[in-house]
C-alpha cells in the first residue's frame, strides 16, 4: 500500500477499493497514519473508533467488492452532533462528555448502508452554535492554513480533516453557514442542500427547515458522490423526498454551464472585508470565461435576518428546553442568549417572520426566472484569530451578537435554496476565501455542475491536502 493513499481523491480511493487493489482495512490504516501524523497540530478529529471501523471493514470484505455500496469501505468522519452507535458523541457539551449512543441517526445509517466506514467524530462548537469551532470538552480546532486562526464552524473539524488529508469525505450540518463557512476558511467544498434533500433525525425538531445535513469534500465531484450517499426519502423525516433519477455524480461528470449569473459582493445589506470583496469579484469572472453572462444584481433580502433570528430562537427553545431546565449553568453564554430570545418571542414576532420568509421565497422565485445562479462571498471576512469567539465588527459596523457577522450565509438559509462554498483564492497573507453559489430550490444538480466548472477554472482543489502551517514568524 502506498504511503500517499491519503492524497487520492475519494473517487480514486473508492475505485481502488472496488477493483480490489486495496482493502477497507488498508484505507483505515492509511487514514489512521495520517491522523497520527497531523491531527495533534489541528485537533480536527478528537474521537476515533478504529476497532469499530475495522469490524465494519471486515463485514464488508465478506462481500465481493462490487457489492459493498457506493463507498465500498471508504473511511469517513461524522460531525460530533450526530449520534453513532457505540461511539462517544458529546455534541461539544460537557453535559454529554461521556455520552455513548445506543443507535445511530439517519445520515449515519445511510452512510454505513452505502459502504462508508465511520472512523472518527469531527470537532464542533457546543451544540453546533457559532462560527468558531471550540468547546469545553475538546478545545479548539485550528485552521491548517495558519494554525493561529480559526477554521470557522460549526463543521470546523470536518473541514480541517479534509484539508489535511485525514479523511476523504466528511459529514457536516448547516443552520447559518456551518457547512459553508468552514469550507471557505479551509479551502474545501461545503454544500448546504435544500431542506429535505438529506433526511435527518429522528428528532423533536423534525419540521425545522433551517438546519440541514450535508457533504463536505476536497473537490466538487467527491461532494457529488457523497450527496448521492446521503440523499433520499426516509419516512422518519417529514421533510425528506426521493433522490433524483440522475445521480449527482453523473450530473457533475458532464457539467452544463450556467447561462446567466447574478453577483453581489454584499447581498445589498452586509458589510464585507475589502480584500474578500475584491477576491470574489475577480473570481466570479471565471464564469464569463466559460460562456456565462455575469451581472451585478441580487434579490431584495429585506427582513431575511429578522426572520432568521426568530426561527433560530424558536429552534433553540425546541431543542434545548429540557436540557436548559436541568443544566443551564453548563451552557455557554451565546446559547443562553439565543434560548432566552426564543422564550421572549410573541406570536406576532413569529407571524412576522413567517410573512418575511414567504415574501423572500417569492422574490427568489422571481429572481430565478431570469438567473441560473446567485454568487456572493461565502463569508464576509477571511479566517480570524483562534482567540476571538466571533467577529464583533466589520469596518464601522459593530455586531451585538455572535450570529450577525455570518449574514451572507444566514440570509441564504432563509431562502431554502441550496448553496455551496467553492474555494476562490487567498488573501495577501495566505488566508483562504470562498465563493458562495446559490441555486434554485432542489436544484443541487445544476448547482454542483456550475461549481465543478468553476473549480476546473481555478484549479484550487489541486492544492489539497496540505500539511498544517504555523503562522509566519
Convert the pLDDT of each residue in 338-347 to its tens digit.
999 999 999 9
Q: What is the pLDDT of residue 272?
A: 98
User: Model pTM greater than 0.85?
Assistant: yes
Which has the closest alpha carbon to 178: 190, 169, 189, 188? Answer: 190
User: Residue 130 and residue 140: Cα distance in Å, rounded?
Assistant: 13
Contacts of 247 (CB under 8 A, 6+ apart): 224, 228
Q: Which residues of the chain fall below pLDDT 50?
A: 473
Q: What is the pLDDT of residue 1?
A: 55
User: Residue 226 and residue 70: Cα distance in Å, rounded?
Assistant: 9
Q: What is the pLDDT of residue 65?
A: 87
* CB atoms near residue 398 (< 10 Å): 9
Q: What is the pLDDT of residue 103?
A: 98
What is the H or E stretch that residue 189 is in? strand 189-192
In this structure, what are the phi and psi dihedrals at residue 117, rounded to the nearest 5 degrees? -115, 115
Q: What is the pLDDT of residue 204?
A: 83
Which has the closest alpha carbon to 313: 132, 154, 134, 176? Answer: 176
User: Residue 447 and residue 441: Cα distance in Å, rounded?
Assistant: 10
Is the CB of residue 231 less than 8 Å from the CB of residue 198?
Answer: yes
- Which 3 state secondary structure label does DSSP give 39? helix
Is the CB of residue 202 less than 8 Å from the CB of residue 222?
Answer: no
Q: What is the pLDDT of residue 314?
A: 97
What is the H or E stretch that residue 314 is in? helix 304-327
Dump pLDDT digits (tens) for 115-135: 999 999 999 999 999 999 999
> Regarding the domain with residue range 5-463, which homologous superfamily does it belong to in the CATH classification?
Amidase signature (AS) domain (3.90.1300.10)
The answer to whether the peptide bond before residue 263 is cis (omega within 30 degrees of 0) is no
In this structure, what are the phi and psi dihedrals at residue 338, rounded to the nearest 5 degrees? -65, -40
Q: What is the pLDDT of residue 467?
A: 98
User: Residue 252 and residue 223: Cα distance in Å, rounded?
Assistant: 10
- Which 3 state secondary structure label does DSSP give 222? helix
* CB atoms near residue 183 (< 10 Å): 36
- CA 262 to the chain's CA centroid: 23
Q: What is the pLDDT of residue 436?
A: 99
Which residues participate in catalysis according to the annotation? 79, 154, 178
Domain spans of the chain, in order of start: 5-463
Amino acid at each position: 500500500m502506498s504511503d500517499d493513499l491519503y492524497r487520492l481523491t475519494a473517487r480514486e480511493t473508492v475505485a481502488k477499493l472496488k477493483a480490489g487493489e486495496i482493502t477497507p482495512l488498508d484505507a483505515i490504516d492509511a487514514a489512521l497514519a495520517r491522523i497520527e501524523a497531523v491531527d495533534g497540530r489541528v485537533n480536527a478529529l478528537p474521537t476515533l473508533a478504529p476497532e469499530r471501523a475495522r469490524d465494519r471493514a471486515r463485514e464488508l470484505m465478506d462481500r465481493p467488492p462490487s457489492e459493498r455500496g457506493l463507498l465500498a469501505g471508504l473511511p469517513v468522519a461524522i460531525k460530533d452532533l450526530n449520534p453513532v452507535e457505540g461511539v462517544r458523541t458529546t455534541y461539544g457539551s460537557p453535559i454529554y462528555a461521556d455520552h455513548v449512543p445506543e443507535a445511530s441517526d439517519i445520515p449515519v445509517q445511510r452512510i454505513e448502508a452505502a459502504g462508508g466506514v465511520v472512523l472518527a467524530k469531527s470537532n464542533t462548537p457546543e451544540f453546533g452554535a457559532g462560527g468558531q469551532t471550540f468547546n469545553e470538552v475538546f478545545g479548539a480546532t485550528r485552521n491548517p492554513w495558519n494554525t493561529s486562526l480559526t477554521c470557522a464552524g460549526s463543521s470546523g473539524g470536518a473541514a480541517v480533516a479534509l484539508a489535511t488529508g485525514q479523511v476523504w469525505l466528511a459529514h457536516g450540518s448547516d443552520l447559518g453557514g456551518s457547512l459553508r463557512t468552514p469550507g471557505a476558511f479551509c479551502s474545501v467544498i461545503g454544500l448546504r442542500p435544500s431542506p429535505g434533500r438529506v433526511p435527518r433525525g429522528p428528532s423533536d425538531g423534525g419540521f425545522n427547515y433551517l438546519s440541514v445535513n450535508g457533504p463536505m469534500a476536497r473537490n466538487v465531484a467527491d461532494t457529488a458522490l457523497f450527496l448521492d450517499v446521503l440523499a433520499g426519502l426516509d419516512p422518519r423525516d417529514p421533510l425528506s423526498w426521493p433522490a433524483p433519477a440522475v445521480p449527482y455524480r453523473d450530473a457533475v461528470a458532464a457539467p452544463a454551464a450556467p447561462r446567466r449569473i447574478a453577483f453581489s459582493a454584499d447581498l445589498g445589506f452586509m458589510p464585507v472585508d475589502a480584500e474578500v470583496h475584491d477576491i470574489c469579484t475577480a473570481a466570479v469572472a471565471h464564469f464569463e470565461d466559460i460562456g456565462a453572462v455575469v451581472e451585478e444584481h441580487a434579490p431584495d433580502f429585506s427582513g431575511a435576518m429578522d426572520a432568521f433570528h426568530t426561527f433560530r430562537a424558536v429552534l433553540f427553545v425546541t431543542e434545548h428546553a429540557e436540557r436548559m431546565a436541568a443544566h443551564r449553568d453548563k451552557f455557554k453564554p451565546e446559547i443562553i442568549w439565543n434560548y432566552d430570545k426564543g422564550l421572549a418571542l410573541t406570536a406576532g414576532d413569529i407571524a412576522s417572520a413567517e410573512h418575511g420568509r414567504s415574501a423572500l421565497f417569492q422574490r427568489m422565485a422571481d429572481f430565478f426566472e431570469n438567473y441560473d445562479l446567485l454568487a456572493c462571498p461565502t463569508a464576509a471576512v477571511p479566517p480570524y484569530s483562534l482567540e476571538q469567539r466571533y467577529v464583533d465588527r466589520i469596518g464601522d459596523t459593530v455586531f451585538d451578537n455572535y450570529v450577525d457577522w455570518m449574514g451572507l450565509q444566514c440570509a441564504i438559509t432563509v431562502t431554502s435554496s441550496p448553496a455551496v462554498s467553492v474555494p476562490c483564492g487567498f488573501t495577501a497573507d495566505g488566508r483562504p476565501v470562498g465563493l458562495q453559489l446559490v441555486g434554485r430550490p432542489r436544484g443541487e444538480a445544476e448547482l454542483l455542475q456550475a461549481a465543478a466548472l468553476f473549480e476546473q477554472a481555478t484549479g484550487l482543489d489541486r492544492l489539497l491536502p496540505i500539511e498544517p502551517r504555523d503562522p509566519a514568524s
